[in-house]
Amino acid sequence: MINYQDKVIIITGGGSGLGRAAADSIAAQGGKLVLVDMNKESLEESRKAILAHSTDASVEIVEANVTDEEQVKNYVQFTLDTFGKIDGFFNNAGIEGKQNLTEEYGSAEFEKVVSVNLNGVFYGMKRVLKVMKEQGYGSIVNTASVGGIRGVGNQSGYAASKHGVVGLTRNSAIEYGQYGVSINAIAPGAIMTPMVEGSLKQMAGDDWEAAGKEFVSVNPMKRFGKPEEVGNLVAFLLSDAAKFINASVIPIDGGQSYK
């Protein structure tokens, strides 16, 4: 049974896409949320959207850049000052970066993507794990990607960072299971969020919707995933119902990884 009454959950990238969808699902089950994002406006929009579905939800927002360790420290401290504990952490903020062949992939672009997707996830884990170890409980879900478990092409920075997220997840899961803390990763395939819409527009301009259809024609389910489908998975993984799941990397991709 999934129950979030009195549970405190931090979500990075909470201003959009998968972060917002997970927040919505957790709020609907009574969870108290701290949403973190570098985009203040989208955080406000998330809060509004969540309150429209769950009128008595508790939603705090913190503007922070996950690549800055000091700002990471601050959102963790804010959560402790406000709620006194952290039950769950959806460590999810990420960017895709420009697509290019490896030899043409910009080094600055590589560093930028790795800095958000991998360093940001590491900084968050570091701070949150210290708290969870002291508490003797907690769950973390890191957002990897299909691109973190197999090659997708033209995405050196993204693939390196997401493979890194898988490594970090398994490494820390082995360390912290003994303290009652579970750590897993999700590996989404193509989910229709602003990130994916943006990259389709970058590739195909005004024809992005047709390009999207073509893109998912190779998926066994012939469609994009919906953010709420990922949100529901995260809500399950961060709940007490999933306590014995640890060090797992769970694809949510319509079966595309196994085709």
Active site residues: 158
Chain center to CA of 229: 13
Which secondary-structure segment (H or E) carries 133?
A: helix 120-135
Closest approach of ligand NAD to the CB of residue 233, in Å: 12
Q: Cβ of 164: how many Cβ atoms within 10 Å?
A: 18
Residues numbered 209 to 228 that lie near ligand NAD (CB under 6 A) are none
State the sign of the Cα–Cα–Cα–Cα dihedral 163, 257, 154, 94.
negative
Site for ligand NAD contains 145 (CB under 6 A):
yes
142 binds ligand NAD, rule: CB under 6 A: no
Residue 18 in tokens: 């998968």
Beta bridge pairs of residue 245? none
Do the beta carbons of residue 190 and residue 225 sit within 8 Å? yes
- Which helix (H) or strand (E) segment holds residue 17: the answer is helix 17-28
Stretch that binds ligand NAD, among 15-23, 50-58, 77-85, 127-135 (CB under 6 A): 15-23
- Contact segment (CB under 6 A) with ligand NAD among 10-18, 129-137, 149-157, 167-175 equals 10-18
Q: What angle do CA 156, 158, 161 make, to 5 degrees?
A: 105
Q: Could you say which of 25, 54, 79, 92 contacts ligand NAD (CB under 6 A)? A: 92
* Number of amino acids touching ligand NAD (CB under 6 A): 29
Q: Is 251 in the site for ligand NAD (CB under 6 A)?
A: no
**Interaction of residue 143 with ligand NAD, rule CB under 6 A:** yes
The separation between CA 212 and the C-alpha centre of its own chain, rounded to angstroms, equals 22
- Tell me: does residue 65 bind ligand NAD (CB under 6 A): yes
Q: How far is the CB of 5 from ligand NAD (least distance, A)?
A: 26
Contact residues toward ligand NAD (CB under 6 A) are 13, 15-19, 37-39, 42, 65-67, 92-95, 116-117, 120, 143, 145, 188, 190-191, 193-196
